[in-house]
Chain A
Amino acid sequence: GESVGLHLPTLSVQEGDNSIINCAYSNSASDYFIWYKQESGKGPQFIIDIRSNMDKRQGQRVTVLLNKTVKHLSLQIAATQPGDSAVYFCAENLDYKLSFGAGTTVTVRA
């Protein structure tokens, strides 16, 4: 079965607000995590990654937080824009393969 799961299948956000997407993982040996954004009909787009020896990593408008104690990962998107509407996946690296959850669909309201 899948070792990575997202807490909520859908998230509706007002434009300009911050979004938080959560993810739980089950393998404490996982050492690397990636967040992807997937728009309809396209392949997953790399957003940001984090290694297990880090707690936080920031990119452009995005921040990933890693809590190894409770095996939880989150993606924060600042000032959410209409173009952020998509399905978001967290992926856990297990040796040679990425394991994905089912994804969270983010809808941005104007």
Chain B
Amino acid sequence: DAGVTQSPTHLIKTRGQQVTLRCSPISGHKSVSWYQQVLGQGPQFIFQYYEKEERGRGNFPDRFSARQFPNYSSELNVNALLLGDSALYLCASSWTGKNTEAFFGQGTRLTVV
């Protein structure tokens, strides 16, 4: 079975641009969460979607938005990119909204120049 898949794996953007990151959860999982991981730190929670509804949002500005589609895949959008947005963006899927056995994808490495 396929695990959590994210695309693209790497991305380079210029300050002020917009970016869309994609995530496909494990088959049967209805929850998708997004995390930001900067070098040397643990992942920081951005969003959780469960059954296509936003269940929670972390301490990130409104430039960050997300959605979940009927097939449970998800997109994370970041507008007006800043240099500080450079990070590894991780998607995790779970079959519950409480992160039961949450599995992560390989991440998207975003570099803002």
| Interface residue ranges, A against B (CB under 8 Å) | 2, 4, 32, 34, 36, 42-46, 49, 89, 91, 93, 95-103
Q: Please, which residues of chain A bring their CB within 8 A of the CB of B102? A: 34, 46, 98
Q: Please, which residues of chain B bring their CB within 8 A of the CB of A93? A: 98-99
Name B43's contact: one of A42, A45, A100 (CB within 8 Å).
Answer: A100
Q: Are A96 and B101 in contact (CB under 8 A)?
A: no
Q: Please, which residues of chain A bring their CB within 8 A of the CB of B97? A: 96
Interface of A is mostly: strand
Name A42's contact: one of B48, B99, B106 (CB within 8 Å).
Answer: B106
Within the assembled complex, what's the spacing in Å between the Cα atoms of A91 and B99? 10
Within the assembled complex, what's the spacing in Å between the Cα atoms of A27 and B43? 18
Knowing A97-B56, A98-B33 touch, does A44 contact B43 (C-beta < 8 A)? yes
Q: Are B50 and A45 in contact (CB under 8 A)?
A: no
Q: Are B100 and A44 in contact (CB under 8 A)?
A: no
Q: Are A42 and B107 in contact (CB under 8 A)?
A: yes
Within the assembled complex, what's the spacing in Å between the Cα atoms of A63 and B107? 27
Q: Please, which residues of chain A bring their CB within 8 A of the CB of B44? A: 100
Within the assembled complex, what's the spacing in Å between the Cα atoms of A35 and B55? 23
Within the assembled complex, what's the spacing in Å between the Cα atoms of A95 and B4? 22
Q: Are A36 and B45 in contact (CB under 8 A)?
A: no
Interchain nearest-CB distance for B46 vs A (Å): 9
Sample 9 A-B pairs with CB under 8 A, ordered by A number.
Answer: A44-B104, A46-B103, A49-B100, A89-B43, A96-B33, A96-B97, A97-B45, A97-B56, A98-B99
Q: Are B56 and A43 in contact (CB under 8 A)?
A: no
